Chain A
Amino acid sequence: MIEVAQLRKEYGDLVAVDDISFTAETGAIFGLLGPNGAGKTTTIGCISGLLEPTAGTVRVRGHDVVRESAQAKASLGVVPQEIALYGDLSAGENVRFWGQAYGLRGAKLRARITDVLEITGLLDRAGDRVDQFSGGMKRRLNFACGIIHEPQVLLLDEPTVGVDPQSRVRLLDLVREQANQGVCVLYTTHYMEEAQSICDRLAIIDHGHVIAQGSLAELQAQMGERDLVRVSGSFDESELHRAFGHDADVEIVTVDDAQATLSVRKASSKLPTLLAALTGAGSEVRDITVSQPSLESLFIKLTGKELRE
């Protein structure tokens, strides 16, 4: 398991992550969901031993990553966001090298090379140079290099970025398979759908802080039965607050001249009333969208902005 407690990382005056705490369990996938620049990669860097935390502790299977670095790293597998491969080597040579980096050799190494290339669907391309591979194949090989030594803890930093839908599905299956085999998986992504589909537990991270965490059900419960209603047009903020200020079923999340976001209980049944109230408040409505409770709507509710912004 991974235990992160009050993690803080500073780069000079910049605080990249601050007071981050969570626990990722064995045999489950823990997701770190947040927009680009939220601090996900910094968190992964501190857990993997790439970065030294400014404060806080990180333990991997009970080993402190700073004080017992070698023991912690030995059980870690890392699949970085970048495709960290040698393009001028073949797929087999890449996997071999990273296997050797984790101390594998001889028959065990050969067997693992075959295994990981097979499960990633690259066995028939083992002898081909990596710089001739497609983006999806490189991503799968990147994954293969991260699991060559059968790690008990697997860190995946946005492993599906820039991958075609087919390869993405295959990669997500591979990740799920690892968790099913008892591996503790920490998975970072800014794709809400991915997090919803694969993660058992999640922490939503923004500006270096964890703003919500729990299981998918727990997080969705924070939204209650409220839908997210996004309205485009022209708005008068004070009139809008006056119109909905005493309505318990409507909560204004954000509002500016051109767009308003509202959290509304059972919005679909209240749309006519809502539109009338908006018009009565001097608003001009050009477009209206209703979203069911989701991680995306929770993120918007918590931060006032979309995940991809």
Chain B
Amino acid sequence: MRFLLATAAKDLVRRRRDPLALLLWAGIPLAIGGLIFLAFGGDDAGPSGRLLVVDQDNTVLSGLLSGVYQQGPLAEIIEVEAVDLETGRDRIDSGEASGLLIIPDGFGTAVLNSEPFEISLVRNPAQRIVPGIIEESLSLVVESTFYVQRLFDEPLDIIAAVQPVGANIVPDSTVASISVAFNQIVDRAQPYLFPPVIELETKTTGEDEDGLDFARLFFPSMLFMALLFMAQGLSEDIWRERSHGTLRRVIVTPQRVAMFLAGKLLAGAMLMLIVIGLGLVVGRWVFGIDLQGLPIALVWATIAGMMLLAMMVLVQLFASSERAGNILTGAAIFPLAMLGGSFFPFEVMPDWLASVGRYTPNGWALAKLNRVFAGDLAALDLVRAIGFVTLIIVALTWLAMRRIRGRFAHS
């Protein structure tokens, strides 16, 4: 056991003197993950655009029409800017806006008199989403206006017939008659409107189920990508031990080769613990990811990383040269990362592919990590999984020891 610890300490000191490798192992997955995150879901601001409005009518109704875009969710997407006709045309021609709405003079009067009228919407052909939203919204307003005209034709007639006394002053009697007319319509409609025949219930479900929380989705994948890169990089050291002659020197000491290998795995596990620990801190404080069971996740990811390292070491031992070993392990980690959910989370993969990926060692371990984060991995399941992984590590180490003693050290 002392030799195991001495070997681990020796490797940790060596790694401390090569911090660039550690940074690369942790940095590359973070960079790749960050890019994927940004490409697929990092920008949650959504589409946005500008609507230029030429209001030549300048009535309350024309103001209401353009005001539709300044209410509720539409206001978050569309910025309305009042312009004159010439400026509006110039700017839409130069692509500076998503749309140009022209409300000619006489719009308000036409609406009150239920007369046909034409308003113009010019769409920016270079854009698709925002002009589409503007057009759809305008269609809804026009349609709604038609029903309002049908329903409230009597008070609207009154409003249209009003001849103000003085500047913009409506007689009290007219206002009263309009109010009465509106109330009568509402009273007549009330039996049909209340209670509503269709009840709409809005329920917001967890973001996990929607698959929309990209940071939460990609974060465990990035951690496992880092583990895969580390496992590959650390496994190369067995070739350095061989080429420097230190592996043969270990064999001629009274110590067991298995202890030496276990020490190297332990050192690798310590480095993984540090990198994953830092990753969890970054995830929690920088990305604001709300993860449960961080200590358990740290332990599980480290043990899983140790298993991946033992696998990679065994692959290196069966390679004919250091170069072949690097090619083989490199060829192994990319399919493992792709299939095992480390490049793309299982949630965004086709179901059949995700189900295959969960059978890869890293995919299986990643699925368990996701369950730890979600807080739905029972303690017994976790203990069983740790026991299973430990058995795998022991078996891989035994095979590696056999290989070293049998041929690797001497050839």
Contact = CB atoms under 8 A, between A and B. Distances in A.
Interface of A: 45, 48-51, 70, 73-74, 76, 78, 80, 82-89, 93, 97-98, 100-103, 105, 129, 145
A110 B409 CA distance: 30
Interface stretch (B27-35, B122-130, B249-257): B249-257
A45 B221 CA distance: 47
User: Top 10 nearest A-B pairs by Cβ distance?
Assistant: A84-B245, A82-B245, A100-B6, A84-B249, A48-B252, A101-B253, A73-B254, A74-B254, A78-B252, A88-B14
B348 to A, nearest CB: 42
B249 A78 contact: yes
Interface string B246-276: 1011111111000000000000000000000
B244 interface: yes
29 contacts: A45-B410, A50-B251, A50-B252, A73-B253, A74-B254, A78-B249, A80-B245, A80-B249, A82-B245, A83-B244, A83-B245, A84-B244, A84-B245, A84-B248, A84-B249, A85-B246, A88-B18, A89-B14, A93-B10, A100-B2, A100-B3, A101-B3, A101-B6, A101-B250, A101-B253, A102-B254, A103-B254, A129-B17, A145-B249
A102 B6 CA distance: 11
Given A48-B252, A85-B244, 6 more contacts: A45-B410, A49-B251, A84-B245, A84-B246, A101-B6, A105-B2
Nearest to B244: A84
Given A70-B254, A84-B245, A85-B244, A97 B14 contact: no
Contacts of B244: 82-87
B410 A50 contact: yes
B13 interface: yes
A86 B254 contact: no
B6 A50 contact: no
B2 A86 contact: no
Interface string B227-258: 00000000000000000111011111111000
Interface string B1-44: 01100110010011001100000000000000000000000000
A49 B409 CA distance: 12
Contact of B6 (A70, A73, A97): A97
A145 B244 CA distance: 14
Nearest to A103: B254
Interface string B347-363: 00000000000000000
A293 to B, nearest CB: 37
B249 A93 contact: no
A49 B255 CA distance: 12
A49 B257 CA distance: 13
Contacts of B248: 50, 80, 82, 84
Contacts of B253: 73, 98, 101-102
Contacts of A101: 3, 6, 250, 253, 255
Contacts of B18: 88
A88 B17 contact: yes
Contacts of B13: 89, 93
Contacts of A145: 249
A119 to B, nearest CB: 20
Given A84-B249, A100-B6, A50 B409 contact: yes
Contacts of A85: 244, 246
A76 B13 CA distance: 27
Contacts of A102: 253-254
Nearest to B260: A101
A97 B252 CA distance: 14
Interface string B82-113: 00000000000000000000000000000000
A61 B255 CA distance: 19
Contacts of B246: 84-86
A239 B245 CA distance: 53
A89 B245 contact: no
B176 to A, nearest CB: 95
